[in-house]
Amino acid sequence: MSIRRITWIGILVSLALMMHGVERLLPIPQLAPGVKLGLANIVTLVALSILPRGDAYLIVIIRSTLGALLGGGASAMLFSLAGGTFSFLAMAFLMQYRETLFSLPGISIAGAFLHNVGQLLMAALIVETFNIAIYFPVLVASALVTGFFTGIVSDMIITAITHARLQPMGLSDHTPRPRNAKPLRHIESHETTRL
């Protein structure tokens, strides 16, 4: 694993934890258990766009664990890991068809939806009843709104990273490049030749 990839993992974990903290401070009405803005979903989408899937999932695990340790306890970690894993699997699969079948906001909506499903299933296992499925329509509606918002923000961040050519070395093909942007590997090899 390159130093640049390790650096990106550290940066994205820090951002996810910061967003987690900000989200906890926002006065959002609790319409149903598990309904949140899902700001950490932005980090997962960015990670899936610029890093290998293994690195992106590592970020999900680290931020879920540290987020629970910083506030929430063991139950919060279980909910976060369940939602994060369901969301990650859905988005990692759909990212293969980005720009051909799905837009980034569409992928984000799917991730938000499955994040809610994962947390709902974990809650059902903990309380040992599926009666909480009554909240399902609210969770679907919230996934549409929050998923679209986080998808738009993620798209803007990924575009900025691509324009600035900040992708980890050798992974520039993960992110669709703007028309006038040169591949990162080409830039590096050109600079090496000049030296």
Q: What is the mean pLDDT of residues 81-86?
A: 89
Phi and psi torsions of 102, nearest 5°? -130, 140
The CATH number of the domain holding residue 96 is 1.10.1760.20
Residue 85 has pLDDT above 50, yes or no: yes
What is the rounded average pLDDT of the residues 164-169? 72
pLDDT at 59: 93
Mean pLDDT of 76-88: 87
Domain housing 186: 3-194
CA distance 121 to 129: 10
- At 111-156, the pLDDT tens digits run 999 988 888 888 888 877 777 778 778 888 888 888 999 999 999 9
| Of 90, 88, 65, residue with least CA distance to 13 | 65
Which residue type is seen at 121?
A: L
Structural domain count, the chain? 1
Could you tell me the pTM of the whole model? 0.78
Cα dist from 178 to 46, 94, 154, whole Å:
16, 21, 16
| Residue bearing the bigger pLDDT, 9 or 38 | 9
Q: In this structure, what DSSP letter does residue 1 have? A: -
